[in-house]
Chains A and B, each alone.
Chain A
C-alpha cells in the first residue's frame, strides 16, 4: 500500500540496533580483535571497495558459486528426470545414490584438492557436487508428481519420449524444480564461502580469513555483511524470476 512506510518499518529495528552497537562501542571504548563498531565496519568496507579487493573477491566467489551451481543443478535435474520417469532404474540407483548423498560435501574437499589443486576448478567441483543432490531429489519428486492424465494424453497424442519430457514433464514439474534451484543457490553460496575459508585462497571467504589474520575486525565484519547482502540479492533474483516465470500459471490455477 504505502511502500515507503513499509520500507521504513522494515529498517527501523536494524537501524536502532546499529545505533545501539555504535553507542556501546563508543561509551565502553571497545578495542577488540573480533568486534568493531558499525562506523569502522563501514569505513573498512568502503576502503576495500575503493581499492578493488572487495570487488575482486566478490567476482571470484560469484564465478565459483554460479558455475558450480549451474553444473550441479543441470546434473541434478537431468538425473531427477531420468529417475523420476524410470522406476526400475530408480530402484537400482537408490542405494548408491543414497550412500553418496549422505557424505557431507565438504568432507570430500581433500579429494577434490588432490584432483584439482587449489583454485576455481576445485571449488566449482565441491559446489557442483553438493548442489546436484537436492536438485535430483526434488526434481525426481516433482516428476513423479506430474499428473498421470497428462502423461496419458502425451501417449494418446503420440509425443516422442523427448517431446514428452520437453513439452509435458519439464513444464509441469518446473514450478517445483524452481524451489530446488532457489534453495540450492543459497546452499551453493554457503559451500563456496566455506571452501574459501577452509582452503581455497581466493574469494570472500578467504578475504575474511586474511582480515582476521591481519587483525582487522572492521574489514572482516564488512566482508561478512557483504556476503549476507549477496545472499539476499541472489535469493531476491531467484524470487523475481520465479514470479515472472510462474506467476501467470499460479494465477491461472
Chain B
C-alpha cells in the first residue's frame, strides 16, 4: 500500500494537481451560522463562489419520537474536510443521512449547491462503514464500480477506462476480477470508495469508514484518502469516533452532544498539508487538539 502511495505521489502530474488545487485551501469564513436564518428566497438564488456547498439551517429531526437532532446549523465549504465526533447517540450518522438526502428534516432546511436538498443526489456519494453489506457480492470489483456508472447512464463502451482508472487510483488494479468475498476488509472498503468516486462526487459523505479496520490498514487508508481527495477536490463530511483520525484528516472537527443531538463545539485544525502519520501526529498543535477533543468527549459523557 505504501509503495503504491509513494508511486502515486512521485507522479509529477499528481503532485502538480495537489499543490495547485488542494493543499492550498480556501479559508472558510463563517463556520457556524450565527445570524438568524435567512429567507429561503435569498438562499435559493444562484450559488456564488464563496457560498458554502452545503448549508444546514436550523434543522430538527424527529422520527416519531423524541428529537434526534435539534437546531443544527452548519456550513460545509467547497473542498473542505469536516469531521464529526461525539458520544454515541448524538446523531452523527443521522446528520450524515440527512445530508445524503436519505432523511428529510422535520424542521429547517438543507441547501445543497444553492438549492433545497430533495432526496439523494448523483454527485453526493456515501461510504458506509459496513462495506461487506454495501457491496454487491455477485459482482466483481470492476462490476461493483460499474454499478455507479450504470446508474449515471454512462455508455457501456466508455465504462472500462473509467473503471480501470478508479481501480488504479484506489490501489485495486490487480484485483479487478475478484469478488468482494475474496477481498480483505481494507480492500473492500477501498472498493466502496472507488464506487463512490465513480459518481464523481462534489460531496463525499463517509460514515465511520475505517471503524471496522485494524490500525495499520486504517492509517494507510487515511493517507490514501487524503491523496485521492487532493486530486478530486471533493468536499468531505466524515463521521468517526476516532478523535485522532478526525484531527489528522480534517480542516474542522465538529463536536456533537446528545439528547437531543446538537452542534456543541467546532475545532479548527490548522495543521499544514500534506499531513504525515509521524510528524503531524507528533506536532504540538495536533497534541493540543487531541487534548481538547478528549476533554470534550469526557465532559460529554459526564466522566470529567
- Nearest 7 interchain pairs by C-beta: A252-B181, A149-B133, A252-B179, A157-B151, A158-B122, A158-B151, A159-B151
**Beta-carbon contact of A150 and B134 below 8 Å:** yes
- Majority secondary structure, A binding face: helix
Which of A152, A157, A249 sits near B137, CB closer than 8 Å?
A249
Answer yes or no: B199 CB below 8 A from chain A CBs: yes
Answer yes or no: A228 CB below 8 A from chain B CBs: no
User: Known contacts being A167-B147, A249-B137, A253-B137, is A153 close to B128, with CB within 8 Å?
Assistant: yes
Answer yes or no: B148 CB below 8 A from chain A CBs: yes
Contact size range, A: 20 to 34
**Beta-carbon contact of A163 and B150 below 8 Å:** yes
Interface string of A160-180 (1 = CB under 8 A from B): 100100011001100000000
For B147, the chain A residues whose CB sits under 8 A away are: 157, 159, 167
Give the CA-CA distance A72 to B134 in the complex, in Å.
33
Contact size range, B: 20 to 34
The residue in chain A whose Cβ has the minimal distance to the Cβ of B144 is A153
Answer yes or no: A251 CB below 8 A from chain B CBs: yes
Give the CA-CA distance A11 to B126 in the complex, in Å.
58
Interface residues of B in 78-92 (CB under 8 A from A): none
Answer yes or no: A155 CB below 8 A from chain B CBs: yes
B-contacting residues of A (Cβ < 8 Å)?
147, 149-150, 152-160, 163, 167-168, 171-172, 248-249, 251-253
The residue in chain B whose Cβ has the minimal distance to the Cβ of A251 is B181
For A253, the chain B residues whose CB sits under 8 A away are: 137, 181
Q: Show 24 residue pairs from A and B whose CB-CB distance is below 8 angstroms, ordered by the A residue.
A: A147-B133, A149-B128, A149-B133, A149-B134, A150-B133, A150-B136, A152-B102, A152-B128, A153-B134, A156-B100, A156-B102, A156-B125, A157-B195, A158-B120, A158-B199, A159-B150, A159-B151, A163-B151, A167-B150, A171-B138, A249-B181, A252-B137, A252-B179, A252-B182
For B30, the chain A residues whose CB sits under 8 A away are: none
Give the CA-CA distance A155 to B97 in the complex, in Å.
12
Minimum CB–CB distance for B139 against chain A, Å: 8
Interface string of B114-130 (1 = CB under 8 A from A): 00000111101110101
Interface residues of B in 165-187 (CB under 8 A from A): 179-182
For A158, the chain B residues whose CB sits under 8 A away are: 120-122, 151-152, 199
Minimum CB–CB distance for A17 against chain B, Å: 44
User: Known contacts being A167-B150, A249-B137, A249-B138, is A157 close to B199, with CB within 8 Å?
Assistant: yes
For A167, the chain B residues whose CB sits under 8 A away are: 147, 150
